[in-house]
Amino acid sequence: MLLQVLGTAAGGGVPQWNCACPGCSGARAHPERRRRHASLAVRTGEGRWYIVNATPDIGDQIEAHPALHPGPGPRQTPIAGVVLTDAELDHTLGLARLREADGLDILATAPVRQALDDRLRLGEVLGPYTALTWRELPSHSARPLSGYSPGPDGGDLRISAVPVSGKRPRYAADSPEDDAWVVALRLYDPATGKSAVYAPAVAAWSDALHGAAAEADCVIVDGTFWDDEEPRRTGISSRTATGMGHLPIDGPDGTAGILATLSARCLYTHLNNTNPLVDPAAAQHKRLARLGIEVAEDEMVIEL
């Protein structure tokens, strides 16, 4: 299994265009600190990739990674489709950038697809440009990611969704409740027996998520805020981190203590610009390192 980290920032990226917080100012002064929106590319076969979450940075993310470049044919692309973990704008706006494709395979849960179709009119907007093929993310059993039957050697990666929370995007706040609005992804490679969990937005650490993480070889999880009071302390919100739908890293209800108990390689992604971890010199990095936990970096490659 090969995972290419395309981005590690929360909504707005680092730096955010209208923000002069220390994290954003530091990234402007030191370009190596810049982070694109959180996304992942998953290789399902030689020259075949799926992108997890289509962010506003998707064009730059593709150009930054030669394995995702088109060729040898003039319109031949290794990108086979997109997997969505939720319907948030920072995870879906990039779909419009892919309209030049001959066709686009999109995996999403039922409420996510409905929000994109009914509220954002994605099918109507993109239909005149490309053919969208929707597939529902399986939650009860893993299925081949590519949608094709695996070969005799076990072949294709398997994917399944782990419901995480019923947090709806603001534009669909009055939509019906459903625990599949936000999911984590479990990726399993039958050829190696290895598995990974990708959970860029975690509002609650459910038993199902813990079970998947406990069995995984690699866990990449929501690191939006360092502590629960960060949004209020920095003035970006009147709500706490948990009130905004993100478990903090530190504190009695933080995820660091949970990740430290796992045998998997654990990394944080989806960092907000106010998170001290966007500064590579921040003391919080050493605290995580003592627990055996990493902070994912843009362009990192993870092979399992």
Sequence-distant contacts of 256-260: CB under 8 A, at least 24 apart = 256/287, 256/288, 256/291, 256/293, 258/205, 258/210, 258/213, 259/213, 259/219, 259/221, 259/291, 259/293, 260/291, 260/292, 260/293
Dihedral, 169, 272, 247, 276 alpha carbons, nearest 10: -170
Domain count of the fold of the chain: 1
Q: How far is CA 268 from CA 6, 146, 162, 259, in A?
A: 14, 26, 18, 10
Q: For residue 38, give its domain range.
A: 2-303
Helix and strand counts by DSSP (H, E) for the chain? 9, 14
pLDDT reported for residue 195: 97
| Length of the chain measured in residues | 304
Rounded distance between C-alpha atoms, residue 78 and residue 54, angstroms: 15
Give the distance, in angstroms, between the CA of residue 292 and the centroid of all CA atoms in the same chain: 21
**Which pLDDT does position 155 carry in this prediction?**
54
- The residues facing 107 across adjacent strands are 83, 135
- pLDDT of amino acid 150: 46
Kindly list the strands in the beta sheet with 293-295, ordered across the sheet, starting from the edge strand earlier in the chain. Answer: 143-144, 158-165, 182-189, 194-199, 218-222, 265-269, 293-295
What pLDDT is recorded for position 153?
41
The rounded distance, in Å, linking the Cα atoms of 91 and 87 is 7
CATH of the domain at 97: 3.60.15.10
Residue 45: predicted pLDDT:
86
State residue 146's pLDDT score: 85
Q: CA-CA distance, 286 to 282, in Å (whole number)?
A: 8
Cβ contacts of residue 247 below 8 Å, gap of 6+?
202, 203, 204, 205, 222, 241, 253, 254, 255
Note the pTM of the prediction, 2 decimals.
0.96
Digit-by-digit pLDDT tens for the chain (304 residues) are 999 999 999 999 999 999 999 999 999 999 999 999 999 999 998 889 999 999 999 999 999 999 999 999 999 999 999 999 999 999 999 999 999 999 999 999 999 999 999 999 999 999 999 999 999 998 878 999 987 544 444 458 999 999 999 999 999 999 999 999 999 999 999 999 999 999 999 999 999 999 999 999 999 999 999 999 999 999 999 999 999 999 999 999 899 999 999 999 999 999 999 999 999 999 999 999 999 999 999 999 999 9
Query: Two tokens at 141?
Result: 């059993």
d(CA 85, CA 206): 16
Which of 196, 208, 189 shows the shortest CA–CA distance to 266? 196
